[in-house]
Amino acid sequence: MHFACASCLETLTLAVSLPCGASVCKSCVRICTNDLFDAVCAHELRFNQNTAASLSRVLTRFRCPVRSCRQWHYGLTGVDWVLEGLLQICLASASESDAKGSRDIGSAERGKGGAEKALSKAGSHTSQSHLLELSLLALKKGHFELAAAHADEAHALNPWNRRGIAKRRIIEMRSGFAIETKQLALPSIPTHWTPNAQQCNAIKVPDVPSAEMLELLECILCLTTFNDPLTLTCGHSACRNCLLACLVHAPLNPVCPVCRFPLPSFAALTSRKTNWFINALTTKWAHVLPTRPSIEWNLPSAQRMTIPIFPVSLAFPGTRQEFHMFEPRYRVMVKECLETGSPFGLCLPKRSFNPFEPQLRFSKIGSAVSIEFSEEMMGDERETSKGSLPRYYIQTKAQFRFKVVDDTSTISPEGLHYAHVERLDDVDFNDMHAHKRDASSNDNVTTTTTTTASEPSATIAAHEFDPLEYATMIMKLRRTVTGMLEGLDPARVRLLEEGYGPMPSDAGMLSFWAAQWIPLNLQRKYEILSSVYPHERMRTVIEALRL
């Protein structure tokens, strides 16, 4: 096993981990530049001071450099702290000449005109990048034959990434074919190809790690050895279950526990690929790593759960509501939620004259709300299965959306419905095309749930995701809202913020926030609540405001 880039097959330099699970050099990632997109992101940054959540970090896209993937990825990826730390320790343990020749060749001598001499001082491990840099220096001086010789050596050292032959062709064109054209042998590479150890030219992973290496393979949350590690966009790594547990405790605007960079949704973390390199290291060094204790997070209950349903209205994630609970069944519901700290479901009601009807009498898409404040209103106690309970005045906040997965519900003696629900999160940008392809195969491209004649439609027209269009819509909405607030007096602005909250910095929550106050009928609001595509929700809001 080697510290090899999955693209160039050389020693990793500023290693970054991609959403597909592969690890490559940062220089191997080619960002697709777009001047108009950069201008929109710069304008958006004036309204969103949180630079970590700026659109340029989230929506910048690039083609995966790994040959077996080649998919479009979204979001600038930071340096993988674990892999870079391990590589630095390996280089530091080698001799000073090897470390200097592998990572920072001749930085002191380059200013004195001794670049070629410094590059020739590489240690026992010869890097193709060093030979290519020697070739570039010779090419700049007009030494075409020497440059071609270094390019041929680079190709012979590692023919699988074809960088040597590419440099050779550049030299031939720059020289005006003053040197002899040479046909180099190319290995046959299949379309879906994964390199093996014999095809890599990188530093070998030691069989016995040092104590410093073992410390780097600890999760930043549970402080034990990695189990199913995930690497976030910011570059920090943690166990999958640990990150999912963070989202359970903080479902709104979750952030990285180290650098406070925004975390993806629950569904995105569930479907994200495991960091292959870190997972392989934990397997290779399992005989010396400390035994991992069994930690039970009970995450299936976080994804699927049974909660009481309060069919009264529609609520978007992040919004607050106040209720006066006076019916006996809902007094029991509030009592249970206060005792267990669990949420209850808020759904749109359907017409029903029998509260004990087992069929669903509420919409299939709703929001799970938690009680932030409660006050007992004594003087009107009612006997229930929980004893004598008063009326309640409660203040709630919607935490996340859910989808009812069963057509029937459990009914308590008071007539309170309990439904089996599943979390409904936005689809990650990196999984959007695959998600729509799967939905198309199931004849469900434009609908999130199966609708009936008595249930509001959950249909939003499907569109292809365009980062520039999405960034432009966000910029238009923020500019419009900012202009509206500037025309109001400060007292009225405070009232609006108390009622709807401040404008969120998260682009996905922005459409929910705007849907609270724009003039939309109940069906359109239900469509926005049901959509798992942020750009389609934003398009609905923009069309309603006629921007």
* SS3 assignment for 3-62: CECCCCCEECCCEEECCCCCEEEHHHCCECCCHHHHHHHHHHHHHCCCHHHCHHHHHCEE
CA angle 536, 528, 484 (to 5 degrees): 85
CB-CB neighbours of 91 under 10 Å: 19
Q: Same domain, yes or no, for 482 and 517?
A: yes
Q: Tell me whether residue 459 is in a domain.
A: yes
Q: Same domain, yes or no, for 493 and 539?
A: yes
Q: Are 79 and 29 in contact (CB under 8 A)?
A: no
**Least-confidence region, from 79-88, 195-204, 214-223:** 195-204
Q: Tell me whether residue 350 is in a domain.
A: yes
Domain of residue 394, CATH code: 2.30.130.40
163-196 pLDDT tens trace: 777 777 788 777 776 676 666 665 555 544 455 5
* Last residue of one domain, picked from the residues 425, 451, 472: 425
Q: Tell me whether residue 526 is in a domain.
A: yes
Number of domains in the chain: 2
3 state SS of 215: helix
Q: Same domain, yes or no, for 489 and 450?
A: yes
* Last residue of one domain, picked from the residues 385, 401, 425: 425
**Is pLDDT at 383 greater than 90 in this prediction?**
no
Q: Same domain, yes or no, for 420 and 520?
A: no
Q: Tell me whether residue 357 is in a domain.
A: yes
91-139 pLDDT tens trace: 777 655 454 554 454 444 444 444 444 434 433 446 777 787 888 888 8
In this predicted structure, what is the pLDDT of residue 465? 80
Distance from C-alpha of 380 to C-alpha of 413, rounded to nearest angstrom:
20
Distance from C-alpha of 425 to C-alpha of 402, rounded to nearest angstrom:
8
Mean pLDDT, residues 224-235 taken together: 88
Q: Same domain, yes or no, for 401 and 444?
A: no
465-523 pLDDT tens trace: 888 888 888 888 888 888 888 888 888 888 888 878 888 877 888 889 988 888 888 88
Q: Tell me whether residue 208 is in a domain.
A: no
Q: Tell me whether residue 241 is in a domain.
A: no
Q: Same domain, yes or no, for 332 and 438?
A: no
Q: Same domain, yes or no, for 356 and 435?
A: no
Range of the domain at 374: 302-425
And the tokens for 545?
């405001």
Q: Are 274 and 228 in contact (CB under 8 A)?
A: yes
Q: Same domain, yes or no, for 385 and 497?
A: no
- Within 8 A by CB and 6+ apart from 40, the residues are 55, 468, 471, 472, 475
Q: Phi, psi (5° rounding) for residue 473?
A: -65, -40
Q: Same domain, yes or no, for 330 and 415?
A: yes
Residue 404's closest CA among 430, 368, 446, 373? Answer: 368
51 or 202, greater pLDDT:
202
**Is pLDDT at 255 greater than 50 in this prediction?**
yes
Question: Which sign, positive or negative, has the C-alpha torsion 44, 45, 46, 51?
Answer: positive
Classify residue 274 by its DSSP letter: P
Distance from C-alpha of 150 to C-alpha of 164, rounded to nearest angstrom:
8
* Last residue of one domain, picked from the residues 425, 454, 485: 425
Q: Same domain, yes or no, for 417 and 310?
A: yes
Structure pTM?
0.73
Share of the chain above pLDDT 90, in %: 9
Q: Same domain, yes or no, for 496 and 436?
A: yes
Q: Tell me whether residue 408 is in a domain.
A: yes
428-479 pLDDT tens trace: 887 776 665 555 555 444 444 434 434 555 555 556 788 888 888 888 888 8
And the tokens for 212?
């410093």
Q: How confident is the model at residue 371 (pLDDT cuts 50, 70, 90)?
A: very high
Q: Tell me whether residue 119 is in a domain.
A: no
Q: Same domain, yes or no, for 486 and 540?
A: yes
Mean pLDDT, residues 263-270 taken together: 82
